[in-house]
Every structure is written in C-alpha cells, then in structure tokens.
Amino acid sequence: MSFLTFFNSEKPIFFPDITYSFYDVWADLFRIPYETKALDENFMIRKEDYYGENGGVIFPNPNAPTGVLMPLADIRDIVEHNSDVIVIVDEAYIDFGGETAQSLLKDYENLLIVQTFSKSRSLAGLRIGYAMGSEELIRALNDVKYSFNSYTINRPSILLGVASVEDDAYFRETTAKIVTTREWFKEDMMKRRLSLPDSWANFLFATHRSVSARDIFEAAKKQNIYVRYFAKERIDNYLRITIGTDEEMKAFLTFFDKFENLS
C-alpha cells in the first residue's frame, strides 16, 4: 500500500542491494523504477548513497537478512536529505532491541514508519500491519486503501490484534525471551569458526571461515533443520538462522558440531 501510494515518480526509488526480498518484487509489480545501493563491507547502509535525486527511499531497520541496525542519527540524516520525497523506515524487527524512529516523526512530514504484527507479536497469519506518519501521509494511504481495498483487516484479526496490544506484559516477555536466546546463541556461535555481524533482529546472519554456507544449509536440511540460504551475490556464503526456542538452538549447535567434525 505504501509503495502504491508514495512511490509514483519517474525517478527511481532507492533501497539497499541486500535487503528485504519483497521490495524489488513490489517495485516490479507496480512498475516503479528502482536503484539499489550497495551496503558497505560490514553490511551497513551508507547514508551518503541516499542523498541523490530519487523517487523515494525505503529500508528496513534493523535490515534483513543481516540484522544490522542503523543509528537514529543516520536515519535523521537520510530523511533530511530527502525532504521532497517519502522515506519509509520498515521496522518489522524493531522490537528485538533496536530503537524505533518514532521520535523523529514530530520533526519530519516525509517520514513514514511501518511495523507489523507478523514478527514480534507472533501473529503473521492475522495479516496486520500499520504505518505511522504525518496526518497528510496517513490521509494519502487511506485514500488509496478506500479506493481499491477498503476492508484490509477482518474482524477476528482486529479483535486479536487489540488483545495483543493490551497484553503488554506478554509482549515484553516473549520479545525478551528471543533476545536472551539470541545473545547466548551468538556467544556460542562465535566460539566456533563462524563470524557474524551483531544482530538486532530475531535471527543471526552467519558465515563460516572454511565451510561453505550452502554445504551447511544442505546438511542441516537433511536433519530437518531449516535455515535460510540465499543464492545471491555477496551473501551466498551466509546463512540466516532464525532464533527459536532454546531447545531448537541447542539442536542446531549439536548438528553443527557433528557436521564440523566430519568436514
């Protein structure tokens, strides 16, 4: 909905070369021209890349599939350099320890923040997402929504979504659990021949110093352990490993140690 509403210029929209895999899909679907900007060697977004003329900007924070978080000052900088277009910050994973850009909303009318119930609220099946921004931006989104798809959220989803928001204690407990598991799992992974950027999401992005990511992926699959492998330039030697329960992460480590001893 945001792509459809705000990205309608002849100029290309900008997003990172390594990012959420749906951005180019939506851009292609809606015939929106786009240009990708390379992350630096540490998988960080280079803010200067987003200064040029464009039809809009979008990036996830933290980014996917890297988990890398961008500081608020850099987001502010990108928003300020793009006052004539809309900058969308996709905070799908913000509840796992990152700092939301909501405090910037009062200063910038061109900033739109989108969040979802699919990750930190464990409610992907309900299909609830939302956007935060100036009155003018929300009005534009509603105009588009009511023109072609008025009832985007069904009644049971609304009721369950409200219940989720009301139970803040449960939300804090479950997100904290993921963060705790992520941190011990990360420490354990770093004791092995793996390296990984600091993750602020509910997954780790890991590369092994001698074994290829594809080999680990294939071997894990045979043990019914599913991690994500991307056959894509620059990241084809990385695995995105989702944080599950403590038992699931221990099962991965057990698999991994056996695998490493054999290879």
Beta-bridged to residue 207, according to DSSP, are 195
Asked if 118 touches ligand PLP (CB under 6 A), the answer is yes
Nearer to ligand PLP, 130 or 170 (CB): 130
Residues 102 and 216: their CA atoms lie apart, in Å, by 39
Nearer to ligand PLP, 50 or 93 (CB): 93
For residues 83 and 111, the answer to whether their CB atoms sit within 8 Å is: no
Residues 129 and 147: their CA atoms lie apart, in Å, by 18
Helix pair angle (168-190, 155-166), 10° resolution? 80
Residues 179 and 181: their CA atoms lie apart, in Å, by 5
- Least separation in angstroms between residue 215's CB and ligand PLP is 26
Beta-bridged to residue 116, according to DSSP, are 129
Query: Looking at 116-124, 180-188, 204-212, 225-233, which segment touches ligand PLP (CB under 6 A)?
Result: 116-124
- Least separation in angstroms between residue 116's CB and ligand PLP is 3
Nearer to ligand PLP, 123 or 211 (CB): 123
Residues 57 and 102: their CA atoms lie apart, in Å, by 17
Asked if 159 touches ligand PLP (CB under 6 A), the answer is no
Asked if 25 touches ligand PLP (CB under 6 A), the answer is no
Asked if 20 touches ligand PLP (CB under 6 A), the answer is yes
Nearer to ligand PLP, 6 or 20 (CB): 20
Query: Looking at 76-84, 117-125, 147-155, 223-231, which segment touches ligand PLP (CB under 6 A)?
Result: 117-125
- On the 0-12 / 13-18 / 19+ scale of CB atoms within 10 A, 137 is buried
HSE-CB for 104 with a 13 A CA cutoff: 22
Asked if 90 touches ligand PLP (CB under 6 A), the answer is yes
For residues 117 and 128, the answer to whether their CB atoms sit within 8 Å is: yes
> How far is CA 23 from its chain centroid?
11
Query: Looking at 114-122, 165-173, 242-250, 254-262, which segment touches ligand PLP (CB under 6 A)?
Result: 114-122
Please identify which residue in 78, 86, 92, 220 interacts with ligand PLP, judged by CB under 6 A: 92
Asked if 18 touches ligand PLP (CB under 6 A), the answer is no
Site string for ligand PLP, 37-76 (x = CB under 6 A): -----------------------x---x------------
- Least separation in angstroms between residue 44's CB and ligand PLP is 16
For residues 69 and 101, the answer to whether their CB atoms sit within 8 Å is: no
